[in-house]
């Protein structure tokens, strides 16, 4: 230990570029897992020639200043409210120190990696390079293995730990793919493949929206009225797509002809942008249930606002038997790099994402870094929405449910302690998490609505009063679920919307879909209308919603007080008056929200 301290003291006295070459003796562990997450098992050593697309996240030197700016431009009453930052301003706040750039470059060159082989983000806070496993193992002093996900049969090439030279730890936040086992699942529930038949009056409001949700239902339930948005204000609604989920144009056109005939008559359709070798096949047999649900829901609500479907490539599974030459990267990083590269005019004002995973399957360092990337979008005036998940407080199994396999409600820290399972990115404090409801007159919390408290992120100040009030008024949860959740963590969801019995055209047939994959694009559609209301009247878009939502926006929401979100063999939490970890503040009332935001 004394020798190590002397070595570190020597490094501190050296100028950055005069430090000795990195050797395995100077490496210390940067990140490690005690074992693969539940459901994953080691399969074999990774082939040495297997290609990895490594992304190195350099420390963002002034992120604290960016976060402060985010709070200021997002909080009603602050003198900077609505004065969103531009692309160059954000990049200036997240760029690494020159010292960090020089040290990391020197390290890579020591390992024979020419700087010409690197690609860098505009702010230079991400460095991307392709390496075979054999070279990556030397660079990171680790071993990569093929891991198999037993329930699905998917494979990933990952490491249980990686190391860096000691003097680089303060300059690098994260390197992936390494220890991330998240599977990025869509939060959609196909209702047993149920097909439905629509009569000639399909475009009219059904007798009861309890049985079938259409655009007319959503507009009625959420008080949209006859509001007609602009097609030319510069407002854009974005839909993030992953995992080769393809949004079908013919299906969506049929949907619009049936439910929004004026949109079909005008030739209205979402546009597509492909990211990281993404694709969007138009083969009817390959139409994606998640993708079609997303684009048809947003189009039905937001026409004629331009909708863009972003299809990001890089999806599992890796197939070891075929010795696949490339591996998948976490697609959030690819999507964020692309979207942050857009000019301010090109950015969507609202963005919906219906994908996520258990928080604990995402390494803490990577979760924080991805969450910070969403903060950058918020500072630039983008409202970022995520589905809250479809497992209640965990696996969705209530106390009276039969288990057909081992429960997943255990920690993956090697201790296998019983726990609720918060979802990510819904648990990120810089996004708006959307839970689920069903029925109408009144709406109830849908039982699968994901909600709870983060183990990674502390409770942000904007929600401290609301969450504290909920816990104070429901002390039984604190005692009954002690140890299962973190009452001091970022609590979610923030809001909710309808999430059951959505009518979708899929492969030319009418089906019913459910999940917070439905509520998230629904809520995003409503926020896009609010942004249109603001922009067309010369006001800035809402941007990051949560400070506004918890301060005053919640007065424009329908409080949901019936239902709960069971999981992990418990009844979960209850919906109640005010904010709750099942439905958040409730569901939006467009008319009321429009009146609230008008003074700004």
Q: Give the annotated binding-site residues for Ca(2+).
A: 559-560, 578, 580
Catalytic position from the list 137, 173, 245, 290: 290
**Structure tokens belonging to residue 302:** 């937001």
User: Around Cβ 323, how many Cβ atoms within 10 Å?
Assistant: 10
To 5 degrees, how large is the angle CA 26–CA 159–CA 129? 75
Q: At a CB cut-off of 8 Å and minimum separation 6, what does 65 contact?
A: 93
Q: Which residues sit in the known binding site?
A: 559-560, 578, 580
Q: Which residue in the list 31, 294, 443, 494 is annotated as catalytic?
A: 294
Q: Are strands 489-492 and 432-438 parallel, antiparallel or unpaired?
A: unpaired
Sign of CA pseudo-dihedral 279, 283, 287, 291: positive
User: For residue 585, what are its two tokens?
Assistant: 């503040």
What does the block give as tokens for 215? 């655009």
DSSP single-letter state for residue 303:
T
Residues 556, 541 contacting (CB under 8 angstroms): no
CA-CA-CA-CA torsion for 392, 396, 401, 406, nearest 10 degrees? -140
599 token code pair:
């003074």
For residues 436 and 390, what is the distance between their CA atoms, to the nearest angstrom?
9
- Residue 240 in contact with residue 351, Cβ under 8 Å? yes
Active-site residue, 517 included:
yes
Max CA distance (Å), the chain = 82
In terms of Cα–Cα distance, which of 157, 483, 525 is closest to 318?
157
- CA distances (Å), origin 170, targets 61, 105, 564: 10, 15, 43
Is 31 catalytic? The answer is no
Q: Is 290 a catalytic residue?
A: yes
Q: Which residue has the tokens 């655009």?
A: 215
Q: Can you tell me whether residue 45 is helix, strand or coil?
A: strand
Q: CB of 139 within 8 A of CB of 27?
A: no
> Which of these is catalytic: 178, 499, 517, 528?
517
Q: How many residues does the chain have?
A: 600
Reduced to 3 states, what is the DSSP secondary structure of residue 189? strand
- Whether the Cβ atoms of residue 300 and residue 255 lie closer than 8 Å to each other: yes
> What residues act catalytically?
290, 294, 517
């Amino acid at each position: 230990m004394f020798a190590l301290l002397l070595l570190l003291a020597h490094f501190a006295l050296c100028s950055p570029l005069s430090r000795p070459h990195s050797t395995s003796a100077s490496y210390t562990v940067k990140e490690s897992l005690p074992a693969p997450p539940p459901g994953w098992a080691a399969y074999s050593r990774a082939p040495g020639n297997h290609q990895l697309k490594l992304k190195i996240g350099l420390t963002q030197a002034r992120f604290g200043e960016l976060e402060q700016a985010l709070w200021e431009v997002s909080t009603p009453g602050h003198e900077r409210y609505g004065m969103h930052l531009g692309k160059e301003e954000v990049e200036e706040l997240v760029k690494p120190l020159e010292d960090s750039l020089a040290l990391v470059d020197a390290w890579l060159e020591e390992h024979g990696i020419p700087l010409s082989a690197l690609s860098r983000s505009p702010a230079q806070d991400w460095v991307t390079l392709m390496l075979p496993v054999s070279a990556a193992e030397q660079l990171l002093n680790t071993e990569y293995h093929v891991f198999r996900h037993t329930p699905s049969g998917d494979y990933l090439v990952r490491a249980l730990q990686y190391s860096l030279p000691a003097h680089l730890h303060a300059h690098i936040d994260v390197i992936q793919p390494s220890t991330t086992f998240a599977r990025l699942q869509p939060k959609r529930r196909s209702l047993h493949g149920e097909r439905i038949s629509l009569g000639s009056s399909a475009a009219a409001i059904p007798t009861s929206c309890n049985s079938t949700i259409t655009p007319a239902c959503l507009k009625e339930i959420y008080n949209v009225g006859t509001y007609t948005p602009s097609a030319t204000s510069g407002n854009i609604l974005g839909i993030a797509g992953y995992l080769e989920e393809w949004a079908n144009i013919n299906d969506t056109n049929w949907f619009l002809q049936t439910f929004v005939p004026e949109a079909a008559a005008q030739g209205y359709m979402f546009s597509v942008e492909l990211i990281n070798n993404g694709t969007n096949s138009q083969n009817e047999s390959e139409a994606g249930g998640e993708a079609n649900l997303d684009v048809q829901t947003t189009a039905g609500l937001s026409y004629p606002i331009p909708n863009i479907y972003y299809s990001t490539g890089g999806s599992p599974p890796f197939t070891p038997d075929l010795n696949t030459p490339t591996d998948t990267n976490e697609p959030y990083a690819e999507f964020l790099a692309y979207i942050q590269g857009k000019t301010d005019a090109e950015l969507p004002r609202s963005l919906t994402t219906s994908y996520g995973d258990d928080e604990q399957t995402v390494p803490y360092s990577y979760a924080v870094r991805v969450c910070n990337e969403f903060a950058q979008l918020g500072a630039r005036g983008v409202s970022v929405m995520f589905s809250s998940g479809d497992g209640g407080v965990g696996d969705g199994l209530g106390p009276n449910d039969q288990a057909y396999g081992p429960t997943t409600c255990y920690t993956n820290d090697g201790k296998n302690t019983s726990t609720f399972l918060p979802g990510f990115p819904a648990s990120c404090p810089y996004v708006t998490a959307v839970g689920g409801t069903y029925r109408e007159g009144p709406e109830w919390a849908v039982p699968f609505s994901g909600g709870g408290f983060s183990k990674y992120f502390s409770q942000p100040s904007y929600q401290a009063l609301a969450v504290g009030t909920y816990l104070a008024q429901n002390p039984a949860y604190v005692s009954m679920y002690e140890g299962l959740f973190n009452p001091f963590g970022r609590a979610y969801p923030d809001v909710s919307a309808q999430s059951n019995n959505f009518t979708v055209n899929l492969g030319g047939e009418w089906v019913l879909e459910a999940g917070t994959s439905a509520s998230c694009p629904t809520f995003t559609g409503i926020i896009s209308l609010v942004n249109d209301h603001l922009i067309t009247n010369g006001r800035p878009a809402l941007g990051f919603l949560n400070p506004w939502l918890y301060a005053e926006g919640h007065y424009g929401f329908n409080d949901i007080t019936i239902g709960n979100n069971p999981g992990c063999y418990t009844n979960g939490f209850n919906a109640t008056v005010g904010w709750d970890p099942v439905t958040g503040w409730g569901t939006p009332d467009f008319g009321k929200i429009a009146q609230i935001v008008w003074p700004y």
